[in-house]
A = this chain, B = another copy of it.
Amino acid sequence: MDTVRKSSGTVGKALSVLDLVASFERPVRFNDVLEVSPYPKATLYRILQNLVTEGVLAFDREWQTYALGVRLVRLAHSAWTQSSLAPVARPHLTALSQATGETIHLAQLDGPHVLYLDKRDAKRRVNMFSEAGKVGPAYCTGVGKAMLAHLSADELDRILPQQSYHRYTPSTICSQQELTVELQQIRQDGFALDREDHEPGIICVAVPVLSRSSQLMGAISITSTSARTSLNKLKKFVPDLQHAASQVAAAAEYWRFPDNQGTPEKMEI
């Protein structure tokens, strides 16, 4: 189902096992993993042991189960802080959320999937599939389509075939052809719409976050329900979204600029 990454080296294999354990969404026994893993018993055993000694998997003696370890949470904190748009985008998301009163999402691409990095809830609570760290499909979400539309042809060729094109709702885009047409439109408009593509009753408008050199950095969206508002009303927020996106892009680019600390002492002399 979920595309397995090419796991070339030893590290790749270890990470693929980590993904395998993650995919169970509960602590698993050795045999559970063995059944779905491509590795022979002895090999898998050793890989699991390594991961446990490295603290990236946790082994529960009592239950004899493996689960993802806390070391990952620590690493993710660093990842969130240092690598992504998330920290610089924070105040802008809050501002958007307060200005619109709707749910705001910040996302990046993780391979062929959308990965949600941050979220602001509307005052009124909407029950929805998404929290920081969660992944979702790219071909049928607002942020996903906004990002796909701004990838290079090469990257699209690699990523589009990896989409599942599952029909979540009657309005889901279910083929690469349809998607390609939609992406063309999105590129022209500068924003993407989610017309209940992914969840019935959930609509959204999204814009990409692009660097000065038009490199894709991520996407921001405003989400609501068709009961409360309409796509046309949501579209009114596009300028705000675009403003926020450019602010975030500028902040992200500026943020890494001062780190030109190659040889500061020399320069001062």
Question: What is the chain B residue whose CB lies nearest that of A47?
Answer: B11
Complex CA distance for A34 and B25, rounded to whole angstroms:
37
**Residues B75 and A72 in contact, CB atoms below 8 Å apart:** yes
The secondary-structure label for the interface of chain A is mixed
User: Which partner residue on chain B sits nearest A76 by CB separation?
Assistant: B76
- Contact segment of A132-140, A143-151, A176-184, A230-238: A132-140
A108 within 8 A of B: yes
CB distance from A51 to the nearest CB of B (A): 7
Q: Mark each residue of chain A from 57 to 85: 1 if its CB lies under 8 Å from any CB of chain B, else 0.
A: 01000110101111111111111111110
Q: Is A190 an interface residue (CB 8 A)?
A: no
With A and B bound together, what is the CA distance between A230 and B29 in angstroms?
47
Q: Give which listed residue, B84, B129, B213, contacts A132 with CB less than 8 A.
A: B129
Q: Once the chains bind, are B130 and A15 in contact (CB under 8 Å)? A: no
Chain A 104-137 interface 0/1 with B at a Cβ cutoff of 8 Å (1 = within): 0000101100010110000000011111111100
A264 within 8 A of B: no
Does any Cβ of B come within 8 Å of A14's Cβ? yes
Judged by a CB distance under 8 angstroms, whether A27 is at the interface is yes
Residues in B with CB closer than 8 Å to A118 are: 127
The residue from B75, B77, B110 contacting A18, defined by CB atoms under 8 A apart: B75
Among B50, B55, B117, B256, the residue within 8 A (CB) of A73 is: B117
